[in-house]
Each structure stands twice: as structure tokens, then as C-alpha cells.
Structure 1
């Protein structure tokens, strides 16, 4: 992967230490964006193409699950990961059902495991994009074929 093709990762957590640790751990491998709140994350999401969204669950104001659910609506191609220090079954259920997460990981994270998970999440993102492009190409081909058949029927 070339420098311009870096995976863009947004990590959202209300603990500054976690944001700094994440950035220090992964800045060489990915283009890392961090946000200390869901509101800050929404600004970054609106301005930047993010491939992988990673969020903590428990944050003041908007929870990670709520942020993930909104991201599904606004940025459906993104791959989403829930990274949390708590084992809340209801939150996990909501993250899966509403936030359509790719993966659930617990803090403290293992750098290599998280790095590989981000890479797999990016592969899923790319597959979604390829599917969209192929679907668009197929629709255009179908329209051209229909036009051709109509011309043949009329002649």
C-alpha cells in the first residue's frame, strides 16, 4: 500500500491517554484521526473519508453505539469496530444490531491484534466499494443492452 493509499482510521474515546496511546501505536501503519467525543468525531467524519471507525462505548453525551448507529446511516461503507473496557451485553447487542460492527474488542488492546483487525476491516471496506462499482457497471451495461434490444425490435 502506497502512502497516498493509507487506511484512514478514526478512533473515538473520551480518555485522552487512550487517544495518545492509539496514535503512538498506529501512526506508522495508518492515517490516524482521533476524537475525544462523538461530536468531534462527527465533524471529522463529515470532512474526511474514514475507512475504519473505532469507538469506545462509554462516553459522556453520545455513546459509542449511538455514534455507530448514526455512522451506519451517514457513511454505510465504513467498517465499524467497538473497542471498550466494559462487558455490557445490551450495549454489545445494540452495537451489532444498530451499529453493524465488524468486530468487538476489549481494552486494553493488543497492538498486533488490533492492527490485523483494522487491516481486515479495510478489506471489508474495499469489498463494499468494489461491489458498488460492479453494481453500477452492471446497471449501465443492462441499460445499454435494453437500448440495443429495443433498437433491434424496432428495426
Structure 2
């Protein structure tokens, strides 16, 4: 379970360095911000760092945002995923939903308030999902223990 006092870990991926600097300057006090200038760099971060929320630009060289998110799902499907793009490309949106399993889609330039609210909502779902999985694991153990006790009682 996440420590309630710890900051939400957000990874922002964009091939435009000015956007990375702007995002970090805007959200660094509220969140634990990680930035990556490419999908490959972001994959390394996800492999080595616990991340709660991933925000990625769609149009990047070498790997689109959707392609990046598809790779992330293979590595760690836990982080909530948000696609951000300056272009209204319905094909990209559909791919993001179907392949990248995104939580939300936002247009650039992003509004600080809207992006912040989206991060907060995504984290609520992330935390709820973690709690459900922990409860499910505990129930599985309890069920196994009850089955064992029942077998013991039936055998005696």
C-alpha cells in the first residue's frame, strides 16, 4: 500500500524539452515528477522506479505515445496512463484506448487545473485498484486456510 504521506509519482514523456521543463516547474511541488524525452528513456525509468501515473505525448519520433504505452503494459500495467497531444487524431485516440489502455485523453496545450484534476482522479483509481488487489489476496489466503481446516475436520 502506498504511504499516504508520499507524493504521487508522475512520469511525463514528451520529445519537446520545453514541455518537460514546464511540466516539472508546474507540478514538482505537488508530485514526485519524472520526465523523459523519449519512449526508450521512459521505459528505463518505469523499469527502475515505482510510477503511479504516466502522461505521454502522442507524436514523438521513434515511438508514438500509443506504442510507448503498449510497451509499458508489457513491463508494468499498474500505472494509470494519460495521452496528451496537440493534434486531434481520432485514430490515435482509438488506438490509445484500445492498445494503450489509457485512463484519459487530453489536448495540448494542457490546462494546469484540468491536468491536475485528471492526475488526481487517475490516482484515486490507481489506489482503489491496489486496495482491491490487496483485499483479494487476503481473501484468497483466508479461503485456503478455511479449506484446510474443513478438510482436517472432515478427516477426523
Q: TM-score, normalised on structure 1?
A: 0.96
Question: For residue 107 of structure 1, what is the aligned residue in structure 2?
Answer: 108
Q: Output the CA distance in 2 between the equivalents of 1:135 and 1:45.
A: 25
Question: For residue 139 of structure 2, what is the aligned residue in structure 1?
Answer: 138
Question: For residue 44 of structure 2, what is the aligned residue in structure 1?
Answer: 43
Q: Output the CA distance in 2 between the equivalents of 1:91 and 1:116.
A: 23
Question: For residue 67 of structure 1, what is the aligned residue in structure 2?
Answer: 68
How big is the shift at 1:127?
A: 1.2
Please give the residue correspondences for 1:71-82 in structure 2 after superposition, counting only pairs within 5 Å.
Answer: 71-82=72-83
Q: Output the CA distance in 2 between the equivalents of 1:74 and 1:138.
A: 27
Q: Output the CA distance in 1 between the equivalents of 2:94 and 2:19.
A: 24
Aligned residue for 1:55, secondary structure, equals: strand
How big is the shift at 1:73?
A: 2.2
**Gapped runs of 5+ residues in structure 1?**
none
Residues matched between the structures, number: 153
RMSD: 0.8
Q: Output the CA distance in 2 between the equivalents of 1:67 and 1:152.
A: 53
Question: For residue 33 of structure 2, what is the aligned residue in structure 1?
Answer: 32
Aligned residue for 1:11, secondary structure, equals: strand
Question: For residue 14 of structure 1, what is the aligned residue in structure 2?
Answer: 15
Question: For residue 53 of structure 1, what is the aligned residue in structure 2?
Answer: 54
Runs of 4 or more off by more than 6 Å in structure 1? none
How big is the shift at 1:74?
A: 1.6
How big is the shift at 1:109?
A: 0.5
Aligned residue for 2:133, secondary structure, equals: helix
State the Cα deviation string for residues 90-127 of structure 1 (Å, max 9, x = none).
11101000111110000001101111110111111111
State the Cα deviation string for residues 6-64 of structure 1 (Å, max 9, x = none).
00000000000100110011011100000000010011111100000000000000110
How big is the shift at 1:128?
A: 1.4
Question: For residue 153 of structure 1, what is the aligned residue in structure 2?
Answer: 154
Q: Output the CA distance in 2 between the equivalents of 1:152 and 1:141.
A: 16
Question: For residue 95 of structure 1, what is the aligned residue in structure 2?
Answer: 96
Aligned residue for 1:105, secondary structure, equals: strand
